[in-house]
Copies of this chain bind each other. A is one copy, B any other.
Amino acid sequence: MNRVRMGVIGLGWFGVKHCEALAAIPAVELAAVCTRTESRLADVAATFDVPDAYTDYNQLLADPEIDAVSIVTMWDQHTEPALAALAAGKHVFLEKPMASTAEDCQAIVDAAAASDRAFMVGHICRFNPRYAAAKQEIDEGKIGRIVSMYARRNIPAAVTTEILEKIGPIIGDGVHDTDLMLWCSGDQIVSAYAQSLSWRDKTHADLAWTMFRFASGAIGVLENVWCLPDRTPFQIDERLEIIGTKGSIHVQETHPNFSIVDADGWRSPDTTYWPTHFGRLRGALVEELSYFADCVRDGRQPEMITPDESMAAVVACLAAEESARTGDVVTL
């Protein structure tokens, strides 16, 4: 087996997590890293023993030895590197959300369509075995026609203090569940109504509730509270319930599957997305990037997530944000 040579662009917290994941995949070689911050660049390159380290992603893209890139820049700085990477003939894994405007999404969708390279946005929840099982049961007709969907993705206030200066809860987290609802239902969103509330004087709202109407008549509701009280005894409250005419599906993540009480109180550490056990990174991020690398190696387009799907989730979340801002129902 030839290993896929990959580079990571953007080395924030999650970019480094990508490095860890790629380093953990036998079929991948983490061959290059890139960030504008020089000290960070040197640290990360040393940690992962990566030979090629760049402050300019164009230099990384110019290296013909690199097969594919993982783009983990800030969510509103996705478009340029994604387009440049595709233009440079690289396979592209792009973190979610796809981009910060519908126009940028469309430009990426078009570029991906015009390219024969593998392209995929990182909707990691699709690689969570619970959601994958949900999708599969629904596809098999087990719950009939979907009539109601509810997703909660709430996190403690302490976690979002800085994030809320950069991104809000609907596009920041609700996009996960918007994507899951679209994926599970195979439906389209026709309108969005949302309410948000700010109380900590951040750039973005502390919490938001969104109500989507789907073309079939189904209703989808997102709860995105990014300000759970400080003493909340777990790190995320993540749930999905889908009710159909013949059945229903219930997913509850992290808590109460695994929890620990220690000197710091109750925690429910992640055992699904990127846990590290005995020095080895495991979970959905590794599975997701492995899947992408397999597609690259096998010369096929990722079927698990398509560019159109990634754009649809962004467009719906932006409509919800507009509704929260204006107070009006926004039709898509």
Interface string of A194-222 (1 = CB under 8 A from B): 01110100000011010101000111010
Given A1-B26, A197-B217, residue A143 in contact with residue B229 (CB < 8 A): yes
- Pick from B213, B231, B327: contact of A264, CB below 8 A: B231
**Contact pick for A248, options B213, B217, B261, CB 8 Å:** B261
Q: Which of A15-23, A36-44, A125-133 contacts B (4 or more CB under 8 A)?
A: A125-133
From B132, B199, B257, B263, give the contact of A247 (CB < 8 A).
Answer: B263
Once bound together, how far apart are the Cα atoms of A272 and B133, in whole Å?
Answer: 11
Interface centre among A148, A249, A261 (most CB of B within 10 A): A261
Number of A residues, CB within 8 Å of B: 78
Stretch at the interface among A105-113, A174-182, A277-285, A309-317: A277-285
CB pair A142 B248 closer than 8 Å = no
Kindly report how many copies of this chain are found in the complex they form together. 4
A223 to nearest B CB, angstroms? 6
Interface contact A271-B129, CB-CB below 8 Å: yes
**Complex Cα gap A275–B245 (Å):** 25
Least CB distance, A293 to chain B, in whole angstroms? 10
Closest chain-B Cβ to A152's Cβ sits at a distance in Å of 8
CA–CA, A147 and B224, complex, Å = 12
Q: Is the CB–CB distance between B232 and A219 below 8 Å?
A: no
Contact for A329 among B142, B282, B327, CB less than 8 A: B327
Contact yes or no, A228 B256, CB < 8 A: no
Measured between C-beta atoms, what is the minimum distance from A238 to chain B in Å? 11
Interface: A150 (CB within 8 A): yes
Contact code string A234-250 (vs B, CB < 8 Å = 1, else 0): 00000000011111111
Q: Provide the residues of chain B in CB contact with A253, threshold 8 Å.
A: 257
Q: How far apart are the CA atoms of A251 and B260 in the complex, in Å? A: 9
For window 121-145 of A, CB contacts with B under 8 Å fall at 129-130, 132-134, 136-137, 142-145
A246 and B258: CB pair below 8 A? no
Would you mind naming 9 contact pairs between A and B with Cβ atoms under 8 Å apart? A26-B27, A136-B278, A197-B217, A199-B217, A227-B245, A228-B248, A231-B264, A247-B261, A252-B256
Which 9 pairs between the two chains have the least Cβ-Cβ distance? A247-B262, A129-B271, A132-B277, A142-B262, A130-B258, A233-B266, A195-B219, A250-B259, A248-B261
